[in-house]
């Protein structure tokens, strides 16, 4: 499970960098939040953080899910994902 989540987080970074539309990015964040929460009690916090970002982006892009993240949003989200990747080993 750990390896799959880490791989999916790296793929999510790639999706953001190549400008995949927000609908796909949101779908990935949602799935990953559930997977991380299943890993351990500590994962519940990280999964909750993922869910907060999902909710925030969904509210903003609810009517335009085919659009792209702004460069600022993309950089912020990539930074969060990289911190999740670094924190992932602590969940085991």
Task: Tell me the per-residue pLDDT of 2-56, one tens digit each, with 9 for 90 and over.
Answer: 889 999 999 999 999 999 999 999 999 999 999 988 887 777 888 899 999 999 9
The arithmetic mean of pLDDT across residues 65-70, rounded, is 91
Task: Report the C-alpha gap between 92 and 78 in whole angstroms.
Answer: 23
What pLDDT is attached to residue 49? 93
Give the CATH number of the domain where residue 53 resides. Answer: 1.20.120
What pLDDT is attached to residue 43? 78
What pLDDT is attached to residue 81? 95
Name the residue with tokens 């970002």: 53
What pLDDT is attached to residue 68? 92
Which domain, by its residues, includes 37?
2-91
- Residue 55 CA from chain centroid, whole number: 11
3-state SS, one letter per residue, for 30-91 = HHHHHHHHHHCHHHHHHHHHHHHHHHHHHHHHCCCCCCCCCHHHHHHHHHHHHHHHHHHHHH
Total structural domains within the chain: 1
What pLDDT is attached to residue 90? 80
């Amino acid at each position: 499970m750990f390896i799959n989540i880490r791989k999916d987080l790296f793929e999510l970074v790639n999706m953001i960098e190549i400008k995949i539309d927000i609908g796909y990015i949101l779908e990935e964040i949602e799935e990953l939040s559930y997977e991380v929460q299943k890993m351990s009690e500590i994962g519940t916090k990280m999964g909750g953080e993922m869910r907060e970002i999902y909710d925030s982006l969904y509210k903003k892009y609810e009517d335009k899910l085919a659009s792209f993240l702004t460069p600022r949003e993309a950089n912020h989200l990539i930074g969060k994902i990289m911190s999740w990747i670094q924190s992932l080993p602590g969940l085991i």
